[in-house]
Structure 1
Amino acid sequence: MAKMGSLGRSGFLRKPNDTMRLIISTVVGVVFGFLIGISFPTVSLTKFTFPSSLFPSIDLTYIEDKNSGLSTQALLNHALTTLNKSSSTQAHNMNDTSKIYVSTNPRGAERLPPGIIVSESDFYLRRLWGKPSEDLTIRPKYLVTFTVGYNQKRNIDAAIRKFSENFTILLFHYDGRTSEWDEFEWSKRAIHVSARKQTKWWYAKRFLHPDIVASYEYIFIWDEDLGVEHFDAEEYIKLVKKHGLEISQPGLEPNRGLTWQMTKRRGDKEVHKETEERPGWCTDPHLPPCAAFVEIMATVFSRDAWRCVWHMIQNDLVHGWGLDFALRRCVEPAHEKIGVVDAQWIVHQGVPSLGNQGNTENGKAPWEGVRERCRKEWTMFQGRMAEAEKAYLKETGIPFNSTNR
């Protein structure tokens, strides 16, 4: 009991002492803080240094206490304005010392760092989700284009089935009917471009720029009225590579329709590069139409050859007549790099579908007006080529010889 009383007394004695110490410490702290506040009435936030990544050069002296009457929106506006000014100043300072101008960049991109420039494109379809690096399960190496009307859908369906997944499919629609092609499964992975009453060379000039199709080794630019029962695209590519052809076409069924001797299929060859046309038609056996010649209905171009041919296509001469005689200018030696693949052949069905897209004028049927323009374009193209060549040779001082054209 004596021990318990002793413990009780000591416990009761310590409690008021501890309380008194706490009270005294609090009072002293309040007084000391008051004295500090009087001695230093204003503390400037600008004395503090913040990481530039958090507050890049924002003037914090503008931020006052809540009693200043300055709204939160005003504070944010000022901060953003200051940040923009700071960024402009930093950019100006950087340009003063390391201004970017790379003359070897593509035209118009001289002010960009070379590492960001993407000068070529493709027709590869991309997803709207996931990693970009995982978009393509297969990267097509070749491109095939057809200029089509919906009335030829069965023929086009048969033709496209001859091309594997190694080919990107691009349809140019001259009749404006695009969604109806969805009845074919392959149409969902095809590219569809529509402009009414236009030709394949109009489309090619506007949508097949060399920098757009640069990812494809070969570009097929075909009509819609071709029978392909005896044609296999992969085998065709193998023969083109084997024989070093930069510009080519499949052989045409010799007993069907009117065609040049050069483009008729020969049954005893894989490929041929020259022929004997009518007497007197070829002043040189290495010149068209006896060599270095294919027609424009089912032409196949290598990537490099197409880069040249695209620049030769005229914007206003949409039918392309005369172009086949000039293709030789884009490869050298032309009589060795232009040829007809006999082992993979097609049939030209001669369907005048695009001709019917013309208008009736002066009592002439639509197809008559289209054919008349085709002939005029051939003459115009030949004239332009001759004048351009003549002007160049005159400028360079080389004698002009029409037989070398």
Structure 2
Amino acid sequence: MNLYIITAFPPDLALFFTVSSFGSGLYAEGLHIILFVVSRKPNESMRLIVTTFVGVVFGFLIGLAFPTFSLTKFNLSTNILSAIDFKYAEYTKSGPSFSAYVPLPVGNNGSSTNVTSNKIWVPSNPRGAERLPPGIVRAESDLYLRRLWGNPSEDLTSMPRYLVTFTVGYDQRKNIDAAVKKFSGNFTILLFHYDGRTTEWDEFEWSKQAIHVSVRRQTKWWYAKRFLHPDIVAPYDYIFIWDEDLGVEHFNAEEYIKLVRKHGLEISQPGLEPNKGLTWQMTKRRGDREVHKETEEKPGWCSDPHVPPCAAFVEIMAPVFSRDAWRCVWHMIQNDLVHGWGLDFALRKCVEPAHEKIGVVDSQWIVHQSVPSLGNQGESEDGKPPWKGVRERCRREWSLFQARFSAAEKAYFNSINSTSG
């Protein structure tokens, strides 16, 4: 409630008071009381001043006691009311909201189109981000380390182009130290710790700049599925996903990358020393060439010379993937089949032609030391040693993966045939 009192005193002295009531959250919106008091005698003037003061207090109390109401509906057509600009309409009028229509630039024909500013829907955005303006969407991430201070644009002094991961236990630290030193500053180093020991690795200077992920008793394919999403490792041209028991005396990572590029390999591995830890002929190192892409196996093992294990095949101990190949392989990895057995036979599904784009680099070779460290992370059941339970799980996963892939392909082709029929 607003109370206006205008009291005129001789010689034409005027006082103007305004009282607004906001008591108890109530506001007598638009209620204005205007008193005009004209006095020619001092005694009358004094009485009127006292009376006016009492009226002010009384009006203030009324404003507290009554709910919000307005006198704007009444026709107060006086010259004084019209002279005072309350801007009431401007106060109560709803201004443009965030959802107001925003005019687009006028076209050649003089017309314009309106769009609703909060009705963004961009189907080409990544799933779940359709409501965002494309300019703010960052669909990919990276593993580059950032500072907690300074200008973000000045954080990175270098941007590694390749990623190498090792799944490790602390007992293999010396072997990993030797392996990491074979990778230049062009590589981001990522260690997956299956034994929960991470801080001890700071005895190596390179470890202080590496990325450490620690989850007990998991395999590298479990880690890869959860921490190497294609949109996270997208900045890297090649991704190495290696075991911890590899001898690297005859290996140089930069030279390896050069050969992979030269021979157009999307999925590859270094050749294996033939005298130790060898399972397949395809991955056996050849001493007379840089790269090979096919081999001869035991009679009956290959129904076609262009399919595994005679071609389009590398083992899962030390694979190297191009960015595009990894995007496909990541989607093929099953959440519950953590050992990856059988995966090497299916890698060919991710590149075409597989027998040309999958191969073994012979001139940069490694030794598989066959340390059963992960097998010892299992638990003994029915009197069996831990490693036996792990090995049985591996074989079971191989059968499950083959069955799932076969069923998925069959379902796909059936759906295609039913649609075309």
Normalising by structure 1, we get a TM-score of 0.78
Kindly provide the CA deviation profile for residues 325-361 of structure 1, in whole angstroms up to 9, marking residues without a partner as x. Answer: 0000000000000000001000000000000000000
Shift of 1:256: 1.2
1:93 has 2:100 as partner: yes
Rounded Cα–Cα distance in structure 2 between residues aligned with 1:366 and 1:295: 24
Rounded Cα–Cα distance in structure 2 between residues aligned with 1:91 and 1:250: 59
* Residue equivalent to 1:200: 220
* Residue equivalent to 1:290: 310
Rounded Cα–Cα distance in structure 2 between residues aligned with 1:88 and 1:202: 55
Q: CA 1:168–1:92 in structure 2 vs 1: closer, same or farther (change >3 Å)?
A: same
Report SS of the residue matched to 2:217. coil
* Residue equivalent to 1:270: 290
Rounded Cα–Cα distance in structure 2 between residues aligned with 1:32 and 1:346: 110
Q: CA 1:34–1:247 in structure 2 vs 1: closer, same or farther (change >3 Å)?
A: farther
1:328 has 2:328 as partner: no
Rounded Cα–Cα distance in structure 2 between residues aligned with 1:142 and 1:234: 10
1:137 has 2:157 as partner: yes
Q: Which has the higher contact order (CA 8 A, sep 6+)?
A: 1
Shift of 1:259: 1.9
Kindly provide the CA deviation profile for residues 153-195 of structure 1, in whole angstroms up to 9, marking residues without a partner as x. Answer: 0000000000011000000000000010000000011000010
Listed as ranges, the matches of 1:220-369 within 5 Å are 220-369=240-389
Shift of 1:33: 9.6
Q: CA 1:129–1:341 in structure 2 vs 1: closer, same or farther (change >3 Å)?
A: same
The gaps in structure 2 that reach 5 residues or longer are: 1-8, 21-26, 31-56, 62-92, 103-114
Normalising by structure 2, we get a TM-score of 0.75
Q: CA 1:87–1:381 in structure 2 vs 1: closer, same or farther (change >3 Å)?
A: farther
Report SS of the residue matched to 2:212. strand
Rounded Cα–Cα distance in structure 2 between residues aligned with 1:87 and 1:283: 77
* Residue equivalent to 1:6: none
Q: CA 1:94–1:173 in structure 2 vs 1: closer, same or farther (change >3 Å)?
A: farther
* Residue equivalent to 2:54: none
Rounded Cα–Cα distance in structure 1 between residues aligned with 2:97 and 2:334: 48
Q: CA 1:32–1:292 in structure 2 vs 1: closer, same or farther (change >3 Å)?
A: farther
* Residue equivalent to 2:391: 371
Shift of 1:104: 1.0
Report SS of the residue matched to 2:97. helix
Rounded Cα–Cα distance in structure 2 between residues aligned with 1:267 and 1:205: 35
Shift of 1:94: 5.2
CA RMSD of aligned residues (A): 2.7
Shift of 1:101: 0.9
Larger helix proportion of the pair: 1
- Matched to 1:290, the amino acid is C
Kindly provide the CA deviation profile for residues 26-85 of structure 1, in whole angstroms up to 9, marking residues without a partner as x. Answer: xxxx999943x44xx5599xxxxxxxxxxxxxx9x99xxxx989xxxxxxxxxxxxxxxx
Rounded Cα–Cα distance in structure 2 between residues aligned with 1:87 and 1:329: 61
1:188 has 2:214 as partner: no
1:172 has 2:184 as partner: no
Rounded Cα–Cα distance in structure 1 between residues aligned with 2:305 and 2:159: 41
Rounded Cα–Cα distance in structure 2 between residues aligned with 1:373 and 1:246: 29
Q: CA 1:286–1:34 in structure 2 vs 1: closer, same or farther (change >3 Å)?
A: farther
Shift of 1:271: 0.3
Asked whether the equivalents of residues 272 and 278 of structure 2 are also in contact (C-alpha less than 8 Å), the reply is no
State the number of aligned residues. Answer: 334
Rounded Cα–Cα distance in structure 1 between residues aligned with 2:226 and 2:318: 19
Q: CA 1:376–1:89 in structure 2 vs 1: closer, same or farther (change >3 Å)?
A: farther
Asked whether the equivalents of residues 278 and 284 of structure 2 are also in contact (C-alpha less than 8 Å), the reply is no
Report SS of the residue matched to 1:308. helix
Rounded Cα–Cα distance in structure 1 between residues aligned with 2:13 and 2:335: 86
Rounded Cα–Cα distance in structure 2 between residues aligned with 1:140 and 1:368: 40
* Residue equivalent to 1:214: 234
Rounded Cα–Cα distance in structure 2 between residues aligned with 1:182 and 1:31: 92
Larger strand proportion of the pair: 2
* Residue equivalent to 2:112: none
- Matched to 1:97, the amino acid is T
Rounded Cα–Cα distance in structure 1 between residues aligned with 2:154 and 2:184: 21
Report SS of the residue matched to 1:298. coil
* Displacement over 4 Å in runs of 4+: 30-34, 41-44, 86-89
Rounded Cα–Cα distance in structure 2 between residues aligned with 1:190 and 1:31: 90
1:112 corresponds to which of 132, 146, 157: 132
The gaps in structure 1 that reach 5 residues or longer are: 1-29, 45-58, 70-85, 399-405
Rounded Cα–Cα distance in structure 2 between residues aligned with 1:289 and 1:185: 40
Shift of 1:378: 0.3
- Matched to 1:369, the amino acid is G
Report SS of the residue matched to 1:385. helix
Rounded Cα–Cα distance in structure 2 between residues aligned with 1:90 and 1:356: 65
Q: CA 1:116–1:348 in structure 2 vs 1: closer, same or farther (change >3 Å)?
A: same
Shift of 1:97: 2.3
Q: CA 1:87–1:244 in structure 2 vs 1: closer, same or farther (change >3 Å)?
A: farther
% identical aligned pairs: 77
Rounded Cα–Cα distance in structure 2 between residues aligned with 1:361 and 1:230: 40
Rounded Cα–Cα distance in structure 1 between residues aligned with 2:146 and 2:12: 66
Report SS of the residue matched to 1:369. helix
Shift of 1:105: 0.8
- Matched to 1:239, the amino acid is L
